[in-house]
Amino acid sequence: MPIQVDFIGRSVELCAHSKHDHCQGNFGKFQKAFQDDGLTRKIGLLHILITTKLDECNTVEEYVNWIVNTALKLLTVGLQVSDEWTGAILLAGLPRKYEPMIMSIESSGIRVTGDSIKAKLLQDITSVKSELP
């Protein structure tokens, strides 16, 4: 027997028992009804993406994951952040002490992508850790 669920003005018909054939696809209906892809969500994610700084994160790994995951969340709400932009945003959130690394990337001719900058940041952290006594 279907149940009518009303939550924050969004109504979805669900079934009490998922075994019934007529209940197939109800999860999709539920998910669609509660999917947050409005302007407020997009602006919120963009704000997170462009204001996140490495200094605000506990680790480089956390910083990289935060930026990459936010870019992926934007994709799910219909805004695609290109791989080049993801890399540029990763670089933009770095403190001044990373300027030599940024200059070396620029002079090397390496294509700036999310993956290339992520790898460079994590590689630098790994090499610093290995140099510690």
- pLDDT tens across 37-48, in order? 688 899 999 999
User: How far apart (Å, rounded) are the C-alpha atoms in residues 49 and 87?
Assistant: 12
**pLDDT for res 125:** 72
Upper half-sphere CA count for residue 126 (Cβ side, 13 Å):
6
User: How far apart (Å, rounded) are the C-alpha atoms in residues 15 and 8?
Assistant: 19
User: How far apart (Å, rounded) are the C-alpha atoms in residues 109 and 124?
Assistant: 18
Q: How confident is the model over 77-102, as a mean pLDDT?
A: 95
> Which pTM does this prediction carry?
0.68
